[in-house]
A and B are shown apart, each in its own frame.
Chain A
């Protein structure tokens, strides 16, 4: 665990908290773009990475830092929604939940102790906290764009976790995973547009006709 690595990980935690504490979609999209770039830089900071891992990191930076924010920004503009509408959990309680998630992630890492090779550093607990934060955002936010942002935070967490847990995932599999992620965000963008055409807004909380 070197200094640049730790700086990146701390920045990732801060970006989680920024997402939890803000309801402006524009700034949330920029924050999750920054988080994607930071996650893509992780393998570089670790040092000693081979060509394939560098290529993969570069693809992650381009996709998560530049392509996804554009897709999300377009969905946001076309839906004319710039703020989260009545989140299920307010921003101050969300921040408290973020702190609790962080504490829980470190506790879980302690419990899992010795199971993962890289234990000792803070990569695994930070990855856990990002995954839980993503899940929390998907559940606690009602705007469709914010739910997609939650999904991306979950994905960033899983990416960080994959660096700690399984460096030996075959290159082809990693490429397939990235392709799926790209298509996922693309499809979700189109879905938001179509929902917007029909509903005039993208508050998925009002998608509550189907019950029982």
Chain B
């Protein structure tokens, strides 16, 4: 085994080992601490693999079945960030003495499922084979389902069942898409195991059957789009995100959705190459992105529940990322930067909201009042990350949304730009109306502790500074990483 193989295999192997090990600790506290420390160690390995790709080039082993190129390495780095941020808050979110305290058996099961989903999501990213990629996505659905109802109550069970059935059916349709893609390669010079390697499919894109490939892409977009929560397949998303405990919502919103989008972005260059660069596949993504944006804007304006507000904001941002990739060029670059910024802001928002909801004893926006006065750390965490998510200047997402808008106008798609602008402005005004009374004013009645440890302060401060810094200035190495990831979607070789 070479050093490259080890870099590729270790990040997935460690959580696969930690999953059964989660059942060993003698106390609930021990199990939760193992969860946060083990995730930090895995994130470090993932970071190392990602750095290796950006300094040394694509890693590949096992005959191309395992592969990490610029696009997947970028997603691995984002995933490491989201998991490390969320896991750091696991012991705090379920601490003894709070309303959310977990008994030992539940804490151990939580750890096992947490590491299991971590390993499954990594499998999706490091797989070079569309079939194994599908197996990883389905495994992610099954492993994360019970994370939603760590504490069983009617609401969380309802959300879990909806998520399980809607996503299983959706992902089954994605398998039909995978079969159609394999069928389209019948006349291509691909043999046996090579049929579903996307490197092979991309290399022989010219000899794929365009009709079957188009049908396959439609199924893949519907299937993985369901998992990514794109409208109109998003019915499970607001329930699961609002009912899950905060660290789980943070992972769902910060990376689970992006992981499903990644599967679609993987296929896009192959489809575009096989259909002669007609923009057919990109057009589908633009339409779905706009549908998600409009849907989310309507529900954000009408929202009464804090965690559902954040869930619909995720729908909005998945729409923006999909739209950016669909527009291509500078839009794809902006979509990658948007992915990074969203995956920093949304976990921070969910983790802060989780603490505030526990402190005020209610999910309802009208019960969360004067958060800044009640808890400077969590109040500022929620306020600033929400402002960033709304696309307020000078945060990163203002810059990326502007870039996507300019791409749309530059490409002559005035209608697309108009719909995008209208939806984003509606969401901005609608959400701001809700955010201001939550943040400022005299503190409302609290029923629980709202304290923050030194580590919590550092985590929130770092996240907020990162959002600000990304908006003001983009370091050259980061710009290089983003443009290499965007180049993979555009069909170039990194």
Contacts and interface: CB of A to CB of B under 8 A. Distances in A.
B158 A168 contact: no
B406 interface: no
A198 B243 CA distance: 16
A49 interface: no
Contacts of B9: none
B132 A176 contact: yes
A7 interface: no
A131 B176 contact: yes
B154 A209 contact: yes
Interface in B297-338: 299, 302-305, 308
A151 B129 contact: no
Contacts of B169: 135, 138, 151, 154
Contacts of A10: none
Nearest to A128: B176
B308 A212 contact: yes
A198 B157 contact: yes
Interface in A122-162: 131, 135, 138, 144, 147, 151, 154-155, 158, 161-162
Contacts of B168: 151, 184, 188
A96 interface: no
A144 to B, nearest CB: 7
B271 to A, nearest CB: 16
Interface residues of A, number: 43
B242 interface: yes
Interface in A174-208: 176-177, 179-180, 183-184, 187-188, 190-191, 194-195, 197-199, 204, 207-208
Contacts of B492: none
8 contacts: A168-B182, A176-B132, A188-B164, A188-B168, A194-B157, A207-B161, A209-B158, A212-B308
Interface of B: 129, 131-132, 134-135, 138-139, 142, 145-146, 149, 152-155, 157-162, 164-165, 168-169, 172, 175-176, 179-180, 182-183, 186, 192-193, 195-196, 209, 211-212, 215, 238-239, 242-243, 299, 302-305, 308
10 closest A-B pairs (Cβ-Cβ)?
A173-B131, A176-B135, A166-B182, A207-B158, A165-B183, A180-B138, A210-B239, A170-B193, A166-B179, A165-B179
Given A138-B169, A177-B175, 5 more contacts: A116-B212, A165-B183, A170-B129, A208-B158, A210-B159
Interface of A: 112, 115-117, 131, 135, 138, 144, 147, 151, 154-155, 158, 161-162, 165-166, 168-170, 172-173, 176-177, 179-180, 183-184, 187-188, 190-191, 194-195, 197-199, 204, 207-210, 212
